[in-house]
Amino acid sequence: MERGDPVTLDLLRGTLDMLVLKTLSRGPLHGYGIAQRIKQNSSDVLQVGEGSLYPALQRLLLQGWVTAEWGTSETNRRARFYGLTKDGRRQLARETDEFRRMVAAIGQVMELA
């Protein structure tokens, strides 16, 4: 995949939720960290807009898939760290499965066409 211009990630809700859950599966992060991690791991292609990120985090909190705790950031500031719950892990597995099926299906269609 070639590196194009960075795209602002205004993905479908479910997709962003999945990316956040996936990102958190490696350990707790604060909001800014999540955005940065997604950007890095997508080689700067996916830029999560704050306008989507924080609403998404609030949604995940309400679903009970993540927890939030106040801690100290790497810059010694108070920051809210999000971590995955057991429910969240299960949800991630479900969504990963579904995502794989979807990608495979889309791939098939694209191959055939």
Partner 1 sequence: MRRLWRKLRALRRHDDMARELDEEIRFHLEMMEADGAGRAEFGNVALVREASRESWGWPALEGWLRDLRLALRSLRRTPVASAAAVVSLGVGIGAASAVFSIADAIFFRTLRVPDADALVSVYQRSDDRRAMFSSHAWPHYEMLRDQAGSFQSLAAYSRIPVNARLGRLTERLITELVSNNYFEMLRVQPKVGRAFRPDDGQVAILGERLWRERFGSDPEILGRTLVLNAQAFMVIGVLPDSFQGVVLDWGKPPQLWIPATARAVLPALPFENAGSHWMLVTGRLRPGATVEQAQSEAEAVSTQFYAQHPVDGWKYRPVVLPVQQARFFPAYRASVENYIALLAAVAGLTFLMACFNVANLLLGRAAQRQREFGIQVAMGAGRARLARTLLLEAGLLACGGVAAGLVMASLMTSALSRFDAPFGLPLNLDLSVNPRVAGFAAAAGILTALLAGLAPLRQAWRSDVLGLISGGMRAGGGRRMRLADVLVSAQVAICLVALTGASLFERTMERIQTSDPMFRAGHALMAEVDLLSRGYDEARGQRMLNELLRRVRELPGVEEAAYVKTVPLGGFRGARDVKVNGAQVNVQVNTISPRYFAAAGLPLRQGRDLRDGEASSVVINEQMAERFWPGQSALGRVIELPRTKQQFTVAGVVRDGRMRNFREAQIAPCVYLPLEADYQRMITLYARTGPPPEALLGAVRAAFQDVDRELPFEAGTLEKHLERALAREKLAASSMSGLGAFTALLAAVGLYGLIAVTVSRRSREIGIRMAMGARPAGVVAEVLKRFGWLLAAGAAAGLAACAALSRFAEALVFGVRATDPTAFLMACGLMGIIAALASAAPAWRAAKTDPWQVLRQD
Residue 65, amino acid:
W
Q: Residue 41 or residue 73: which is nearer to partner 1 going by CB? A: 73
CA distances from 47 to 34, 35, 51, 66, 111 (A): 11, 7, 11, 21, 28
| Residue entry with tokens 């807009």 | 49
Restricting to residues 43-82, which ones interact with partner 1 according to CB under 8 A? 49-51, 54-55, 57-59, 61-64, 73, 75, 77-80
Q: Residue 75 or residue 112: which is nearer to partner 1 going by CB? A: 75
Q: How far apart are CA 7 and CA 16, in angstroms?
A: 14
Q: Residue 1 or residue 86: which is nearer to partner 1 going by CB? A: 86
Is 12 an interacting residue with respect to partner 1 (CB under 8 A)? no
Q: How far apart are CA 110 and CA 113, in angstroms?
A: 5
Provide the binding-site residues for partner 1, judged by CB under 8 A: 30-32, 49-51, 54-55, 57-59, 61-64, 73, 75, 77-80
